[in-house]
A and B are shown apart, each in its own frame.
Chain A
Amino acid sequence: MTHMHARGPLAGRRILVGKPGLDGHDIGAKIVALTLRDAGAEVIYTGLRRSPAQIAQVAIDEGVDAVGLSILSGSHMELVTAVLTELRQRNALEVKVFVGGTIPAQDHAPLRTMGVAAVFTADMPLEEVVRELAVQFA
């Protein structure tokens, strides 16, 4: 059911969708991965239970433009901080980091301040997610 859209809004972009930590709720990550692929991106999905270091290393090895982190366990502040640190240690300063999952509203601004490009919530239409990514890449 998924197709490569050579001309989609995210054509030519490589995006890593990652599940850091122990949270096992992966359906949101999979929905986003399928959506980004339909929008033309090349998507790599890490699977569950990756450490921040593993995610950063895959991002480097695969030369991705962006990393999307899906976290529903309430551990997003710790885990996002750790992934950003691991990316910086690997000099991947140009890789954009997005966060989705169960992220309470009061945590959105602090995440942005830390260097997260955008925070997506479950209620947000997928079209909007794609549009926001396209804007970030423009």
Chain B
Amino acid sequence: MNTPDPSTGADASVPPLYSNSRSGIPVPASVPPGAVDHERIGAPGQYPFTRGIFADGYQGRLWTIRQYSGFGTAEESNERYKFLLAQGQTGLSVALDLPTQCGYDPTHPMARPEIGKVGVSLSNLSEAEILFKDLDLAKISTSFTINGTAAIVYAMYLAVADKQGVARSALTGTIQNDILKEYVARGTWIFPVRPSMRLIADSILYSNDATPRFNPISIAGAHVRDAGASAAEEMAYTLANGLAYVDELRRRGGDVEKFARRLSFFFYVHMDFFDEIAKFRAGRRLWARFMKERYGAKDPKAQHFRFGVVCGGSSLVAPQPYNNVVRVAVETMAAVFGGAQSIFTCALDEAFQIPTEFSAELALRTQQIIAHESGIARSVDPLGGSYVLEQHTDRMEEMILKVMAEIDAYGGVVKAIEDGWIQLRLAERALQRKLDTDSGRNVIVGLNHFRKAGEQMGVGDVFKLDPTVAQRALEKFQRVLDTRSQAAVDLSLSRLTQAAKRDDENLMPYLVDCCHAYTTVGEMVDCLKTEWGEFKEPVNL
């Protein structure tokens, strides 16, 4: 760790600018005009949508500003949502606690230390009623970061809409509902891969009819990326997972013209500016091609690659934490140049703690400044046609296809995940990234270069979680158990069991009935575990 010269800030140990991007794409000092093939790029709003899915870009509709929040109890989260909506946020994003994500009721021994820690506890319908109290579900769009229990949480959202008298068809929002990446990077899997794929197909097919404006899946590369994958690998794994869902939906009789228009995607944006922009442009072009050429989708909407992003994550570091605001601003610009439909900006302290109200607001302001002051959103794909960017996009596309071919050669994503092959590959890549950071080869200002002696880590101001959260959640949970009709619960669960035994039955109506009966998330999950068993994690390091 070299200390920079205090007068100039120079640090003699900084490596030269490598001619490869962080994804390993060669980037020359200049690119000649001949590198751009205008035919291949097309126009904004036209196949293959390299330049964006809408001809009018953000002039037609600005991206959704969506900050991730939710912690403690439903009452506290409900208050926070009202605050954020009053601040100009245009969509809600619900974080759920780990017991809800993994399918344990608050009373389970594994749940107790985790209640309300990383999100809100949503153990049964009464909590959802509190969470959305006085919020008009017909007017707000709600995004749930939920996977293992996504179908159940979606059922709960439908049930709470029923209770509020809001037509299901009016609901907008997203459930993440992407189980494949959970096995690889995020870890909230419950059931084995194949029954999990069934549950996902059930929820998507049901949603296409019942909630046609709702996104029943957000196929996410973000977590794999944040764990260590490169931008190219992030896109390759995500597209491969997306195609696996499409295959499953078709196997279940789904119509690609109908379900494909409701598929959406979710990525991280890290610091290599052109890698990020090229990743989105290449991914958008590849997905359109897969949908049209491989699956015969004719409606452009079924070829559209719609995606949300999160800026920050593991690109943020604890030393010199205010630098993180600058990083998030650069990443947000890359997301805008990449054509994102929704953006979440991480708070400067998000890398090491739950954001404070100050840091959360600053993150929101960062994207409002880019949206409304900078003017970069006026023209759609304003960097389109740049020699550097177009060549980078072409090379990114080649690299994505190469990784996808390797997965295919192994036997496809499902097998690669069941065997732990992708998990091991990711661990090795993450180790390499960490070693490159440790050695200073990957420059991170304030962490491995340009550091000052005696610097303090962190921002001093720490968000404190109320220690009574778990106790209050348990008391409320007990009250629900005491007041609900046990006969209704038992009936809803026995019907769910029967339906789960029939492979061609869509489980969604049964899960909604369970929710209406105040059957708990843990009870529904246990019922399905009895039928399907649990995922056996391959631990092959």
- Interface membership of A73, Cβ < 8 A: yes
Q: 9 more A-B contacts (CB under 8 A) besides A34-B427, A74-B118, A123-B447?
A: A22-B101, A24-B189, A25-B187, A27-B228, A30-B431, A49-B110, A74-B117, A75-B114, A104-B352
A15-65 residues with Cβ-Cβ distance < 8 A to B are 21-27, 30-31, 33-35, 37, 43, 45-49, 51
**A35 partner, pick from B185, B227, B352, B431, beta carbons under 8 A:** B431
Separation of A104 and B539 alpha carbons in the complex (Å): 29
Can you list, as one digit per residue, whether each of B316-359 has a CB less than 8 Å from chain A (1) or not (0)? 01110000000000000000000000000000000111100000
Separation of A122 and B457 alpha carbons in the complex (Å): 13
Separation of A59 and B457 alpha carbons in the complex (Å): 34
- Interface membership of B369, Cβ < 8 A: no
B167-200 residues with Cβ-Cβ distance < 8 A to A are 182, 185-189
| A106 adjacent to B354 (CB under 8 Å) | no
B437 CB → nearest A CB, Å: 8
A9 CB → nearest B CB, Å: 16
Separation of A73 and B40 alpha carbons in the complex (Å): 45
Instruction: Give A37's nearest chain B residue, CB to CB.
Output: B541
| A43 adjacent to B114 (CB under 8 Å) | no
* Chain A residues within 8 Å of B12, by CB: none
CB-CB nearest 3 A-B residue pairs: A24-B187, A78-B113, A22-B98
**A31 partner, pick from B186, B187, B430, beta carbons under 8 A:** B430
Q: When A21-B114, A105-B457 are in contact, do A45 and B539 touch as well, CB less than 8 Å?
A: yes
Q: When A34-B431, A79-B113, A127-B438 are in contact, do A27 and B462 touch as well, CB less than 8 Å?
A: no
| A45 adjacent to B186 (CB under 8 Å) | no
- B contacts with A, residue count (CB < 8 A): 45
- Interface membership of B488, Cβ < 8 A: no
Instruction: Give B228's nearest chain A residue, CB to CB.
Output: A27
B72-127 residues with Cβ-Cβ distance < 8 A to A are 98-99, 101-102, 104, 109-114, 117-118
| A73 adjacent to B187 (CB under 8 Å) | no
Can you list, as one digit per residue, whether each of B426-453 has a CB less than 8 Å from chain A (1) or not (0)? 1110110011001000000001000000
A75 CB → nearest B CB, Å: 4
| A22 adjacent to B102 (CB under 8 Å) | yes
| A123 adjacent to B318 (CB under 8 Å) | yes
Instruction: Give B103's nearest chain A residue, CB to CB.
Output: A22
Instruction: Give B470's nearest chain A residue, CB to CB.
Output: A78
- A contacts with B, residue count (CB < 8 A): 38
* Chain A residues within 8 Å of B118, by CB: 73-74
| A75 adjacent to B117 (CB under 8 Å) | yes
* Chain B residues within 8 Å of A22, by CB: 98-99, 101-102, 104, 110-111, 114, 188
* Chain A residues within 8 Å of B182, by CB: 24
Q: When A30-B541, A79-B113, A105-B458 are in contact, do A74 and B431 touch as well, CB less than 8 Å?
A: no
Could you give 24 example pairs across A and B, Cβ below 8 Å? A22-B98, A22-B99, A22-B102, A22-B104, A22-B111, A22-B188, A24-B188, A30-B427, A30-B430, A30-B541, A33-B541, A49-B187, A51-B109, A73-B98, A73-B114, A73-B117, A75-B113, A75-B117, A82-B113, A102-B352, A104-B352, A105-B457, A123-B319, A123-B447
* Chain B residues within 8 Å of A35, by CB: 431
Separation of A34 and B540 alpha carbons in the complex (Å): 11
* A residues apposed to B, CB below 8 Å: 1-2, 21-27, 30-31, 33-35, 37, 43, 45-49, 51, 73-75, 78-79, 82, 102, 104-106, 121-123, 125-127
B321 CB → nearest A CB, Å: 11
* Chain B residues within 8 Å of A30, by CB: 427, 430-431, 541
B149 CB → nearest A CB, Å: 12
* Chain B residues within 8 Å of A43, by CB: 541
Separation of A121 and B351 alpha carbons in the complex (Å): 11
| B99 adjacent to A106 (CB under 8 Å) | no
Separation of A71 and B109 alpha carbons in the complex (Å): 17
Instruction: Give B448's nearest chain A residue, CB to CB.
Output: A125
| B438 adjacent to A125 (CB under 8 Å) | yes
Separation of A86 and B74 alpha carbons in the complex (Å): 33
A83 CB → nearest B CB, Å: 11
| B541 adjacent to A34 (CB under 8 Å) | yes
**A23 partner, pick from B187, B314, B427, B430, beta carbons under 8 A:** B187
- Interface membership of B491, Cβ < 8 A: no
Separation of A34 and B465 alpha carbons in the complex (Å): 34
Separation of A60 and B297 alpha carbons in the complex (Å): 58
* Chain A residues within 8 Å of B113, by CB: 21, 75, 78-79, 82
Instruction: Give B71's nearest chain A residue, CB to CB.
Output: A74
- Interface membership of B537, Cβ < 8 A: yes
* Chain B residues within 8 Å of A23, by CB: 98, 114, 187
Separation of A33 and B353 alpha carbons in the complex (Å): 24
Instruction: Give A30's nearest chain B residue, CB to CB.
Output: B427
| A126 adjacent to B435 (CB under 8 Å) | yes
B348 CB → nearest A CB, Å: 15
B296-323 residues with Cβ-Cβ distance < 8 A to A are 314, 317-319
Separation of A47 and B420 alpha carbons in the complex (Å): 12
Separation of A34 and B354 alpha carbons in the complex (Å): 29
Instruction: Give B113's nearest chain A residue, CB to CB.
Output: A78
Instruction: Give A78's nearest chain B residue, CB to CB.
Output: B113
B278 CB → nearest A CB, Å: 25
Separation of A13 and B362 alpha carbons in the complex (Å): 47
B522 CB → nearest A CB, Å: 13
* Chain B residues within 8 Å of A46, by CB: 539
A31 CB → nearest B CB, Å: 5
| B465 adjacent to A31 (CB under 8 Å) | no
* Chain B residues within 8 Å of A127, by CB: 438
Instruction: Give A105's nearest chain B residue, CB to CB.
Output: B458
Residue from B427, B457, B458 whose CB has the most chain A CB atoms within 10 Å: B427
| B186 adjacent to A24 (CB under 8 Å) | yes
Separation of A31 and B428 alpha carbons in the complex (Å): 8
**B187 partner, pick from A37, A48, A126, beta carbons under 8 A:** A48
Separation of A127 and B434 alpha carbons in the complex (Å): 11
Residue from B99, B188, B447 whose CB has the most chain A CB atoms within 10 Å: B188
| B462 adjacent to A106 (CB under 8 Å) | yes
